Amino acid sequence: MSELFSPIRIGPLDLPNRIAIAPMCQYSAIHGDANDWHLVHLGSLAMSGASVLVLEATAVEEIGRITHHCLGLYNDDNEAAFARIMGFCRKHGSARIGIQLAHAGRKASSQVPWQGGRALGPDGDPWQTVSASAIPFADDWHTPSEATEADLDRIVDAFAATTRRAARQGIDLVEVHAAHGYLLHQFLSPLSNKRTDAYGGSLENRMRFPLRVFDAVKAVAPDTMAVGARITGSDWIEGGIDVEEAVAFASELKARGCHYIDVTSGGVALGAKIAIGPGYQVPFAAEIRRRVDIPVWAVGLIVTPHQAEAIVASGEADMIALARTVLDDPHWAWNAAQVLGAEVARPLQYQRAAPNLWPGAAYKHEPALKAAE
């Protein structure tokens, strides 16, 4: 039996398999509002056979967006736009729906990637950003203001308010984004946090604000909602976060009722020397799973069904979260099920293409086709 297609429980959620679709920014929203692009994109992935679909990094306040075109859930218009998307996904999809709650901090007010991904210039309608310290992300980037106590209180309240909006929309899972160099990661990393108050210096202090945010989210999330966190396993820069600090942060999250940890790495500063290769971030997930004993999601160049199966079967992670892999193949889970001899949910309209009804399914994979020839 395939381990990848075995059931698992994450907090209050019973999931039929170990495949999640990771958050993937689409840079296609208008004033934070989801639109037809999100309907098609998310609607398709909700029907992909994955057990969980986590929506892209979603800003909890307007200045927390990465770009002018990032998704938001901080006002009534945003929520109304979400309702249409969620209605479709729930009606036609089989995946449980999650959302990644995010604030970009000093990496906000930037261009969309296909326009360069740099800080917005004066003609790009930039805005003042906020961070742990008044340190720009990189040369030629704007300098953020150092967050005041009033800023911190406002942002904590914003995370809680967005969680309430998500709950009203029937979202099953929220993931607090504390990685990829965004605001909570900026507090955690000594590379970006040079504060001398209770939020800077020691790891205990650097964790203080991200844990405040998590506690606020957890406090308002209904019992039916899973609450997780995406954290970094390494900054990949000397003097930055390493796996020991990641383990300590994961332990604190577990103690506060976190249901799972999604482990990634990098993004807090330019110049990191990242050893990219198949499954390159899986060891961070494996170490946290071993030492913290919490359900862990692994990410990072997980591409083939057998690779994903091996990660779960070996105990390195409880689930795998796919991003660009499913942009390349939105039906990855269907194909993986066929390769691994498992079953997966398909929409009624597509079931006639399932292996038990469509002879062509046997010839999709090159070895089988060559054998037939």
Beta-carbon-side half-sphere exposure of residue 361 (alpha carbons within 13 Å): 18
State both tokens at 209: 């604000």
- Cβ(294)–Cβ(317) under 8 Å? no
Classify the C-alpha dihedral 183-189-194-198 as positive or negative. Answer: positive
Q: Which amino acid is at 35?
A: N
Q: Annotated catalytic, 27? A: no
Length of the chain: 373
> Are residues 288 and 296 in contact, defined by beta-carbon separation less than 8 angstroms?
yes
CB 53 within 8 A of CB 45: yes
Alpha-carbon radius of gyration of the chain = 20
Q: Give the distance from CA 300 to its chain's centroid.
A: 12
Question: Which among 182, 199, 260, 280 is annotated as catalytic?
Answer: 182
| Distance linking the first and last C-alpha atoms of the chain | 30
Residues with Cβ within 8 Å of residue 101, at least 6 apart in sequence: 58, 60, 159, 162, 163, 166, 174, 175, 176, 177, 217
Which DSSP string do the residues of 7-52 spell out, in sequence order? -EEETTEEESSSEEEPP------BTTB--HHHHHHHHHHHTSS-SE
Neighbours of 175 (CB within 10 A): 30
- 337: CB partners within 8 A, 6+ apart: 2, 5, 49, 343, 344
Active-site amino acid positions:
182
